[in-house]
Amino acid sequence: MKNLFTLLLVALTFVACKNNQTTEETVTVEADPVTVQLTVVNNTGKPLPTHATWGDNVKDQKYTIPAGDTYVMKSNTHSAAGTVFIIQPQAPENKEGTGVCDPANGDAQQTYGFWNGAAHVTADWAKNASNPTPGNHYPGQNWQFKIDVENAGDPMNEKVTFSIAEECQN
Q: Note down pLDDT in tens along the chain; length 170 residues.
A: 555 555 555 555 555 555 555 566 765 656 789 999 999 999 999 999 999 999 999 999 999 999 999 999 999 999 899 999 999 999 998 877 788 889 999 999 999 999 999 999 999 999 999 999 999 988 888 999 999 999 999 999 999 999 999 888 76
CATH for 65:
2.60.270
In which domain, by residue range, is 70 found?
29-166
Q: Is residue 87 part of a domain?
A: yes
Could you give the maximum distance between any two Cα atoms of the chain, in Å?
105
Q: Is residue 48 part of a domain?
A: yes
Q: Is residue 53 part of a domain?
A: yes
Task: Report CA-CA distances (Å) from 139 to 136, 144, 147.
Answer: 10, 12, 20
pTM beyond 0.85, yes or no: no
Q: Is residue 2 part of a domain?
A: no
In the sheet that 108-115 helps form, which strands lie side by side, from edge to edge?
59-65, 48-54, 83-87, 108-115, 118-123
Q: Is residue 113 part of a domain?
A: yes
